[in-house]
Structures are given as C-alpha cells and as structure tokens.
Chain A
C-alpha cells in the first residue's frame, strides 16, 4: 500500500536541471552562519548559548540532543521564525534581525521546513496544503496542479490527495509536510524530528528522500534522536548539550542512499 520512492527520481519530480546541482555545491557563501548566537524566550534563561558554526552548501547534518536541548529552537532560528537574542546569525548572507524582516520572504522561499508538529492547515486537503508555497509565489494554477500531483505521488500519497490532515495517520501527515517542504525546490531543508511518528523501517524510507535531495545540492539538517538512523546513514552531527553545540564527525562512511533497507 505504501509506495515511497517509485521509479521516478526526485530530480525529475522537482524539475531540477544539472546546472543547478553544480551551482549549489560550488557556491561560495555559507548557507547558514552562526556567530556566538544566544537565544532566550522572553525573560527566561538562555536555551542556546554561544553557538558558532556554519553550514556549507550541499552539506548534510543530523541535529541531536535530548528532548528540551534546543533542537527545535535552533531550527526555528535557521528558518527565520525567531531572531537570536545574542550574537550574529546569517542565513543566505542576510542578518537575521527583525530590522531585515522585509528581506525574509525571499530567503524563506529557499528554505523548506518540516515542522515537528507538521503545521498543516486542517481545513485544506493534502494537495492544497502542498500547493501553498507555490500559491504564495503566484505560480499558475495548471502548473501547481501538475507539480503537486507528481510530488504527492512521489511521497506515496496518491490515494490521499483530497484527504484533509485530521483524517490522515501520523506518517501520512508527515509525508504531506515533507512534500510541502520540498515543492519549492529549497536550497536548505530543515526537518524537525521528521521520523518521530513512524517505525524505523518507515523512518529510513523517509530519510532516503532527504538523501536524494541532498545529492542534487540541497543543504539538509535533520533533527532526530534516533541513534540507529544516524549510525546507518553516517552523516556528521550537530549535538546540543548544556545549551552548547558540539560538532561530532560522521559515524562511518556515508551511504549512497541506494543500499537495501
């Protein structure tokens, strides 16, 4: 019943051309740059402290840490949902400060986010939810229709195109959220515990989507605490502990994404 990753390649589904891959992976500018970033909510304590790291174009990281360590907070910073309360954060070269909010829409259009709680709009069908980023861009209705259908097919939801999120299972909602994050062909993909609701086998299948996407040049950050998956895929980790970030090297040689699961 579940048919994730049919024969079609994601390059084809998203309409990527070869040049774009080259351009992405040879770009000079870091996608994300944290310099001594601190974050606190309101007058509360700092939940992130002195964070310094950068993401090169085309890189792939896991983001780990215990529950409450600040993974979602870090992702919210990178997706421009929050501004740092200390230090300096640049996303695609632009300072993330509220004064720059007029430039945010342009930047956000290059970022796909799979939110921890999905954030699907319950009164819209799966296809309308996925179409939203294209609507915002003012893409023609015919193209939206074709594009959305292909992507929903590709994540294995062709039978649930008109279903509304409340009628979908957790894993299905997740795939709608993933499709919505991918439809804009983002240069940066942020996924907040996208495998939280599904078993390991299913999680592995979903992760392969991101691996495929990364191969065509997208920078990917996936927050998870599923150690099995991390070891299996072997990408480097950004680990949050005691409000600080630690970079841990790859566990083992990176797999190609074509291995049998």
Chain B
C-alpha cells in the first residue's frame, strides 16, 4: 500500500450546482452581521434614553403676551395663574399622569437666584411659572399629542422641548431598529431560498447516487443528513469570510462611537452579549442552511420509492 487510505464518506461527486452558495453566504452574513450590530446598538441607545425619560416632565407657563416684557403687575400675575391652573387641571386628567404639582413661586425664586441674582426676589420680576408632572412611564405618554393639546387649553404653556425632541428621536430609532430587523429577516429568507434552490438542483444532479443509496437500504434521513453536511460545509466557508469582512467594520464603528464621548451614544453601543450575537452569525447561518437542506431533501424524497 503506497497510497494512504482516506475514507471518503460523501457518495456524491463534486458538482458545480452548489458553487454559488458560499458567495451568497458571504454576502448574507456580511449584511446580517452589520444589520444585527446596528439593531443591537440602536436598541441599547433607545433603552438608555427611555430610562432617562421616565419620571417627570416640566411644563412652563409664560405670562400672557400682552404683559410680556413689562414688570409683572398683579393683573399679569393672576392672568398667568389662571393659565397655570387650567394647564394643571388638564394635565391631571391625562392618562399616564400620576401627579401634577404647581411649583410655588418661592421655590422658583430660590432655584433661579444663583443665576439671576437678587433681582428675581423682586415682586415685579417677570417669571414664568412651572408645573412638575410625574408620569407613569415615558413610553406610555404621547408627548407630541400632549404638547398640542396642552397649547389648546393654555396657549402660553409649553412642554420641555428637549424631551419632545428625545421622543421624536426615539421614534426614529425604533424605525431604524425595525428596519435593521427587517433586513435580517430578508437575509434569512433569501438565504433559505438560495439553499433550497441549490439543494433541489443538487438532488437532480445526484439522482443516480441517491437511487443507489435507497436501493442499498439508506433511509431518507441518512441521505438528507449527507446533503445537510455537504451544504453546511459549503455555506460555512462563505459565512466565515462574510464575518471576517463585517466584524472589523462593527469593531471600528464601536471604537468611533466610544471616541464621541457623548454619554448617550458611547455607553449605549454594544455590550458583552451583543458581541456574542454578532460573532455567532456565521455559525447560525451555516446551521440554518444545513437544516434547510435537510428538510428540503427529506421533503423531496417522500415522493420517491
């Protein structure tokens, strides 16, 4: 025996029908890794922001326009208070609002004294009035709608604009998140179709070998697992290359996000488990393609003898 004996377990000859599979896998894993990393990052940021948004809101009521700029007369003060009370009464009845508290003038003056000096202690200083609103959960209250309705009741009242902006941003991130997940879903679907197509083609090419395997007593499951093994090997090569290209991109974006030093973005990028999910993509992809091949073969063989 000069030649070393190597057992060759796959009874299917090499064929080119599945050659496109590694390429598809490479592209799909590339897309999946990036969109998954994006979805996870966006989700993390959203979670961070929304936790910073729970708790309280602040409503500011300015003195009515006709008194603006002038020193606060008694008339101006009481006109402001009328609006403050209207706004407070309206807010109390809003779903998700737990508590409404008009900030006393004295507290307000105390709060602003360090910035504006003794002048504000003066009775006539034109101060806006504030209402503290405690809400159940930032997510459950539609701030945009609340803002619109509040203005109808009290034209000079306004909701903390920063929070409204945050709420809008969160709408955006939710959309981004869903888009990323949508891409992930499409990638999975495309991959499955590609695998099904490759498997069906391959089944036709290897029909004589399959018939022979049946005739020597092979069960459908045996043949299906041979195909699954073959498909998984094909797919895994491409999947790994896809990961090798995409993971560095994710690492670079994570590094850039950190260097931004904007707390909301830098801290909310990718955590430990997220890295695990990102790195596991090529393995999942190969596994999914193997399972798809298995099911396809098992399904097709049911109609043979």
Chain A residues in the interface with B (C-beta under 8 A): 79-83, 98, 101, 104-106, 108-109, 113, 119, 121-125, 127-128, 131-133, 135-137, 141, 145, 162, 180, 184
Contacts and interface: CB of A to CB of B under 8 A. Distances in A.
Contact of A108 (B9, B216, B304): B216
The 4 closest A-B pairs by CB, nearest first: A109-B217, A123-B13, A108-B217, A133-B216
B208 interface: yes
Contacts of B13: 121-123
A145 to B, nearest CB: 7
A136 B305 contact: no
A128 to B, nearest CB: 6
A106 B217 contact: yes
Interface of B: 3, 5, 7-9, 11, 13-14, 208-209, 211-219, 222, 304-305
For the residues of B in contact with A, the DSSP-based class is loop
Given A81-B305, A98-B305, A121-B212, A128 B217 contact: no
A145 B209 CA distance: 21
A82 B8 CA distance: 30
Contacts of A136: 213, 216-218, 222
Contacts of A145: 5, 7
Of residues B9, B217, B218, B305, which shows the largest number of chain A Cβ atoms within 10 Å of its Cβ? B217
A83 B305 CA distance: 8
Contacts of A123: 13-14
Nearest to A129: B11
A254 B225 CA distance: 47
B209 A121 contact: yes
A135 B209 CA distance: 14
Given A80-B305, A104-B305, A132 B219 contact: no
A162 B217 CA distance: 24
13 contacts: A83-B305, A108-B214, A119-B215, A121-B11, A121-B13, A122-B13, A123-B13, A123-B14, A128-B8, A135-B11, A136-B217, A136-B222, A162-B5
A1 to B, nearest CB: 19
A128 B216 CA distance: 14
A162 to B, nearest CB: 6
A119 B214 CA distance: 12
A79 B215 contact: yes
Contacts of B11: 121, 124, 128, 132, 135
A16 B212 CA distance: 26
A247 to B, nearest CB: 27
Contacts of A101: 304-305
Contacts of A141: 7
Given A98-B305, A119-B212, A136-B222, A184 B217 contact: yes
